[in-house]
């Protein structure tokens, strides 16, 4: 099995048998708060760990607290996942084990030896080459808080140099062990923390305090095992209830200091594992801006936003009425309620208030005052309702039953949309991460280059309309551009089209299926709102292909950056220097740089399409971006002494403008041609799959296939079983598109094929045709599997 790729960004938290639901939820919440948006944090089932190729995208695998024996049963005995986890770490992966997850990561477990709960045995992971003995403190009972307590830890100086605190107080403990160090201590083992106090039986012969946390190096990877629960916030049960057991209960201020120290330590643990928490970067930047007052800009909050920001309605300078009249349609205006100078709309998913900048505090508001107001909005944290300690009780068995903690619900906050003002004109100072003036200039240049007029209305069947990109909603930080359009039926039905919604950051970005789309600094993410003629309803599958083509044409016109299409809806880079390959090696690596999501809705008697797209433009590592590809190309050009000029370095405004122009032209052709046939050769020239051999895992036995083409009428992935290779001569077309193979005008084949799987259509023994919505293509593993 492979190890993690250089762009691995998923933090997977085991959620199967044996895990404490409360430890699971607190682990996901704490890691999310510290790692978003650089990483995604999500629970993972044992089935996925056993059946799916999770390793390349996994930056960290976490096993939270609970019970060790069910971990053994589920992951070692029943599924054999333990071997994969160990190989993943040895090849460069990261493992975090908390309490029971810490026991599970040792060479041997010795729990309650001679007692009624005795568990003794070796463990296959064996990241720590010694034993874990426990419970360190007496009184532990399963499913009970009777043995819980608040403990203090001494941090080893070598492992806490960046921390303010050398002692951590009031951390939650319940049943954890201590790590028995082998003698001599291997150089691959580093002690991170020791218990400040412990029963004498748990101390070593040298009198050292028992070890509570260790870091081990295993091959190319690392594991961190922690016997206590650093994921539990101290102000909430069960940690708060354990603190209350202390002989001298600490003051509120003391607990708050301990809570800050806990967060810093968890962050340090992640750094020790090799992750890059944005929270640390944020605090370091904030420390350089001490003394900021309201109205002053805080650079840290620009790159690490914490909550949604106001959204600006903007339109091409030649068409100012587009933004001014954004919500003037009677059907929409009738649903709004006036309050002060705002119009309030309660839609299906969001509550939104519309108003001009004068609504902020009156008509005397100046451009400078608006800038200060926006800076203050970035600094002001929203208030969310949280359960009180008094409202949490114990059930009859004595175990805590607090509500499962959840991340903040940003969808519950009222969103603000600022419409153009007649007295105070938009200035780029208001949108420091996206310069609207530069964008309009870039849009005009791109249109002129393509032979299209800019800033004019065009006649259509429904009257005059603007071109795509002329009407823009821009939010510095939003929940999700896709969600705000797709799940608010009033906006979806009555906003003018074509409309594009752009954001610099998304707090709840959506990917395909249940995936999360990351939103680190430098990512361009937007959603298009379009009308589709009813006559083309059977051609919707091609919309994702058209967007993929538009992105490739816009960002890599001559193909030298290596930007390619991965079926059905991803944008990849295929070039030396990415995906673990080295420049000059002669081997091209592959790394994802973008994704596409299409939602279709039939509302008001017409189809409304929301096309979401995210592209890494200026991102820093570990993600691969257009900026990195441009630097790799510059190095190649220099080394080869090429006289061919470099393309312009990517910018957010220029990249976005060129994508708008490219998609607008292709969308217009798609509508006029009533289909995708005119794009087929171009699409196959851009994709990654020429002659690729894959395995269809939805058949028994699995079927080996070779990819041929995209069928032109219904957009299916056409494959041929390897047992029946094609012997037909080439027509001279793009290698993977041969009309003699395609089977004619209608690529739907009647049922009855010998080889079929979920999402497969096909009725002859020659072809297997796969639907993009029913299948998931794991490029690195060469698998096509059922989409879940």
What's the confidence (pLDDT) of residue 25?
82
Residue 248 falls inside a structural domain: no
Query: What is the b/e burial string over 85-104, where b = at least 16 CB atoms within 10 angstroms of the residue's CB?
Result: bbbbbebbbbbbbbbbbbbb
| Poorest-pLDDT segment among 129-143, 445-459, 548-562, 628-642 | 628-642
Q: Is the peptide bond before 502 cis (omega within 30 degrees of 0)?
A: no
What tens digit of pLDDT does each residue of 503-538 get?
A: 998 887 555 544 444 466 788 999 999 999 988 999
Residue 557 falls inside a structural domain: yes
pLDDT grade for 12, boundaries at 50, 70 and 90: very high
Q: Please report, in angstroms and rounded to a whole number, the separation of the first and last CA atoms in the chain.
A: 22
What's the confidence (pLDDT) of residue 291?
45
Backbone angles phi, psi at 771, to 5 degrees: -85, 135
What's the confidence (pLDDT) of residue 746?
38
- State the DSSP code for 299: H
Residue 513 falls inside a structural domain: yes
What's the confidence (pLDDT) of residue 635?
82
User: Which ranges of 227-277 would DSSP assign to H, the alpha helix?
Assistant: 239-243, 252-272
Q: Measure the CA–CA gap between 637 and 634, rounded to whole angstroms.
A: 5
Q: Measure the CA–CA gap between 30 and 96, rounded to whole angstroms.
A: 13
Looking at the DSSP assignment, which residues form a beta bridge with residue 603?
Answer: 606
pLDDT grade for 403, boundaries at 50, 70 and 90: low
Residue 271 lies in domain: 10-136+176-233+262-284
Same domain, 556 and 586: yes
Q: Measure the CA–CA gap between 712 and 681, rounded to whole angstroms.
A: 10
What's the confidence (pLDDT) of residue 296?
52
What tens digit of pLDDT does each residue of 279-302 get?
A: 666 556 555 544 444 445 555 567
* Burial class of 744 by CB neighbour count within 10 A (0 to 12, 13 to 18, 19+): exposed
| Poorest-pLDDT segment among 123-137, 603-617, 662-676 | 603-617
For residues 159 and 543, the model is more confident at 543
DSSP string, 26-45: HHHHHHHHHHTTTSEEEEE-
Q: Measure the CA–CA gap between 319 and 421, rounded to whole angstroms.
A: 14
What's the confidence (pLDDT) of residue 747?
38
What's the confidence (pLDDT) of residue 367?
82
Q: Which CA distances in Å does 613 have to 323, 325, 424, 543, 680?
A: 22, 26, 32, 12, 21
Q: Measure the CA–CA gap between 175 and 177, rounded to whole angstroms.
A: 7
Mean pLDDT in residue range 661-680: 95
Same domain, 580 and 709: no
Q: Are 650 and 634 in contact (CB under 8 A)?
A: no
pLDDT grade for 395, boundaries at 50, 70 and 90: very low
- State the DSSP code for 689: -
The closest of 758, 775, 751 to 698, measured between CA atoms, is 758
Neighbours of 83 (CB within 10 A): 14
Q: Are 153 and 228 in contact (CB under 8 A)?
A: yes
Which residues fall within 8 angstroms of residue 662, CB to CB, at 6 or more apart?
549, 550, 551, 553, 554
Same domain, 432 and 518: yes
Residue 394 falls inside a structural domain: no
Residue with tokens 């908390």: 98
Residue 37 falls inside a structural domain: yes
For residues 177 and 649, the model is more confident at 177
Same domain, 583 and 717: no
Same domain, 558 and 509: yes
Same domain, 267 and 331: no
What tens digit of pLDDT does each residue of 733-754 get?
A: 333 333 333 333 333 332 333 3
Q: Measure the CA–CA gap between 624 and 629, rounded to whole angstroms.
A: 8
Percent of the chain residues past pLDDT 90, beyond the cut: 50
What tens digit of pLDDT does each residue of 750-772 get?
A: 233 333 334 444 444 578 888 88
What's the confidence (pLDDT) of residue 279?
65
What's the confidence (pLDDT) of residue 598?
94
**pLDDT at residue 180 tops 90:** yes
Residue 79 falls inside a structural domain: yes
Same domain, 200 and 332: no
Can you say how many angstroms the Cα of residue 464 is from the centroid of all Cα atoms in its chain? 39
What tens digit of pLDDT does each residue of 427-449 get?
A: 888 998 899 999 999 999 999 99
**pLDDT at residue 382 tops 80:** no
**pLDDT at residue 684 tops 70:** yes
- State the DSSP code for 533: -
Q: Give me 500's structure tokens.
A: 């594009």
Q: Which helix (H) or strand (E) holds 60?
A: strand 58-63
Same domain, 268 and 331: no
- The mean predicted confidence, pLDDT, of the chain is 83
What's the confidence (pLDDT) of residue 118?
93
For residues 610 and 409, the model is more confident at 610
Angle at 482 between CA 479 and CA 486, to 5 degrees: 115
DSSP string, 474-520: EEEEES-HHHHHHT-HHHHHHS-SSEEEEEEEESS-B-STT-B----
The closest of 478, 508, 378 to 430, measured between CA atoms, is 378
Q: Give me 403's structure tokens.
A: 């509500």
Q: Measure the CA–CA gap between 641 and 635, rounded to whole angstroms.
A: 10
Same domain, 277 and 330: no
pLDDT grade for 178, boundaries at 50, 70 and 90: very high
For residues 387 and 353, the model is more confident at 353
What's the confidence (pLDDT) of residue 612?
94
Q: Measure the CA–CA gap between 729 and 734, rounded to whole angstroms.
A: 13
Which residues fall within 8 angstroms of residue 782, CB to CB, at 6 or more apart?
692, 693, 694, 695
Q: Side-chain half-sphere of 355: how many Cα atoms within 13 Å? A: 20
Neighbours of 677 (CB within 10 A): 12
3 state SS of 184:
coil
Residue 694 falls inside a structural domain: yes
Same domain, 454 and 505: yes
Q: Are 679 and 544 in contact (CB under 8 A)?
A: no
What's the confidence (pLDDT) of residue 755?
38
Residue 329 falls inside a structural domain: yes
What's the confidence (pLDDT) of residue 396?
41
Q: What CATH number is attached to the domain comprising 59?
A: 3.40.50.880
Mean pLDDT in residue range 208-233: 95
Same domain, 367 and 269: no
What tens digit of pLDDT does each residue of 246-280 get?
A: 988 899 999 999 999 999 999 999 999 999 887 66
Q: Which helix (H) or strand (E) holds 668?
A: helix 652-673
Same domain, 374 and 472: yes
Q: Are 529 and 600 in contact (CB under 8 A)?
A: no
Which of 43-57, 74-88, 420-434 holds the top average pLDDT?
74-88
Q: Measure the CA–CA gap between 613 and 598, rounded to whole angstroms.
A: 9
Q: What CATH number is attached to the domain comprising 450?
A: 3.30.930.10
Number of domains the chain is built from = 3
Q: Which helix (H) or strand (E) holds 419?
A: strand 415-419
Q: Which CA distances in Å does 85 have to 3, 82, 152?
A: 9, 5, 31
pLDDT grade for 622, boundaries at 50, 70 and 90: low
């Amino acid at each position: 099995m492979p190890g993690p790729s250089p762009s691995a960004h998923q933090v997977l938290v085991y959620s199967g048998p044996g895990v404490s639901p409360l430890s699971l939820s607190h682990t996901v919440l704490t890691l999310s708060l510290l790692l978003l948006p650089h990483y995604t944090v999500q629970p993972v089932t044992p089935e996925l760990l056993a059946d799916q190729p999770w390793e390349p995208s996994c930056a960290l695998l976490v096993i939270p607290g609970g019970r060790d024996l069910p971990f053994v049963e589920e992951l070692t005995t029943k599924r054999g996942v333990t071997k994969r986890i160990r190989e993943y770490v040895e090849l460069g992966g990261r493992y975090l084990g908390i309490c029971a997850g810490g026991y599970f990561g040792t060479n041997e477990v010795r729990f309650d030896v001679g007692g009624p709960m005795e568990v003794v045995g070796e463990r296959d992971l064996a990241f720590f080459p010694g034993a874990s003995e426990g419970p360190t403190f007496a009184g532990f009972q399963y499913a009970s808080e009777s043995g819980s307590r608040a403990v203090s830890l001494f941090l080893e100086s070598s492992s806490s140099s960046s921390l303010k605190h050398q002692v951590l107080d009031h951390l939650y403990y319940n049943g954890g062990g201590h790590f028995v160090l082998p003698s001599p201590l291997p150089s691959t083992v580093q002690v991170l923390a020791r218990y400040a106090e412990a029963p004498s039986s748990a101390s070593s012969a040298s009198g050292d305090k028992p070890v509570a946390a260790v870091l081990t190096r295993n091959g190319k990877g690392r594991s961190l095992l922690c016997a206590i629960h650093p994921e539990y916030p101290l102000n909430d049960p069960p940690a708060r209830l354990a603190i209350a057991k202390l002989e001298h209960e600490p003051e509120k201020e003391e607990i708050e200091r301990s809570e800050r120290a806990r967060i810093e330590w968890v962050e340090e643990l992640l750094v020790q594992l090799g992750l890059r928490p944005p929270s640390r970067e944020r605090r370091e930047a904030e420390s350089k801006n001490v003394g900021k007052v309201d109205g002053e800009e805080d650079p840290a909050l620009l790159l690490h936003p914490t909550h949604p920001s106001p959204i600006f309605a903007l339109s091409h300078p030649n068409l100012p009425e587009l933004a001014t009249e954004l919500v003037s349609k009677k059907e929409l205006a009738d649903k709004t309620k006036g309050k002060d100078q705002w119009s309030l709309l309660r839609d299906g998913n969001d509550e939104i208030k519309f108003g001009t900048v004068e609504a902020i505090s009156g008509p005397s508001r100046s451009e400078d005052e608006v800038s200060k107001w926006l800076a203050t909005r970035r600094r002001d944290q929203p208030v969310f309702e949280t359960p009180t300690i008094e409202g949490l009780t114990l059930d009859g068995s004595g175990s805590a039953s607090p509500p499962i903690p959840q991340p903040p619900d940003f969808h519950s906050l009222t969103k603000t949309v600022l419409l153009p003002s007649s007295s105070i004109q938009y200035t780029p100072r208001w949108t420091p991460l996206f310069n609207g003036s530069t964008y309009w200039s870039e849009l005009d240049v791109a249109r002129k280059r393509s032979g299209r007029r800019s800033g004019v209305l065009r006649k259509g069947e429904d009257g005059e309309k603007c071109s795509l990109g002329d009407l823009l909603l821009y939010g510095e930080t939003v929940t999700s551009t896709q969600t705000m359009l797709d799940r608010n039926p009033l906006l979806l039905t009555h906003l003018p089209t074509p409309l594009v919604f752009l954001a610099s950051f998304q707090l709840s970005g959506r990917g395909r299926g249940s995936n999360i789309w990351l939103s680190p600094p430098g990512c361009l993410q937007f959603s298009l709102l379009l009308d589709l003629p009813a006559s083309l309803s059977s051609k919707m599958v091609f919309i994702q292909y058209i967007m993929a083509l538009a992105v490739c044409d816009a960002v890599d016109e001559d193909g030298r950056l290596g930007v390619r299409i991965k079926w059905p809806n991803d944008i990849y880079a295929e070039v030396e220097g990415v995906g673990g390959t080295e420049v000059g090696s002669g081997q091209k690596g592959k790394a994802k740089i973008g994704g596409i999501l299409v939602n279709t809705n039939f509302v008001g008697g017409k189809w409304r399409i929301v096309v979401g797209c995210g592209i890494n433009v200026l991102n820093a590592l570990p993600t691969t971006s257009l900026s990195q590809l441009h630097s790799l190309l510059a190095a190649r050009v220099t080394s080869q002494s090429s006289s061919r000029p470099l393309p312009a370095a990517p910018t957010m405004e220029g990249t976005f403008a060129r994508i708008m122009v490219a998609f607008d032209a292709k969308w217009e052709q798609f509508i006029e041609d009533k289909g995708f046939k005119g794009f087929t050769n171009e699409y196959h020239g851009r994709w990654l799959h020429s002659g690729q051999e894959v395995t269809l895992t939805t058949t028994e036995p699995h079927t080996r296939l070779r990819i041929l083409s995209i069928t032109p009428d219904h957009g299916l992935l056409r494959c041929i079983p390897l047992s029946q290779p094609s012997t037909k001569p080439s027509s001279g077309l793009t290698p993977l598109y041969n009309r003699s193979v395609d089977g004619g005008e209608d690529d739907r084949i009647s049922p009855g094929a010998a080889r079929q799987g979920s999402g497969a259509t096909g009725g002859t023994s020659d072809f297997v045709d796969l639907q993009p919505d029913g299948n998931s293509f794991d490029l690195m593993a060469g698998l096509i599997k059922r989409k879940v």
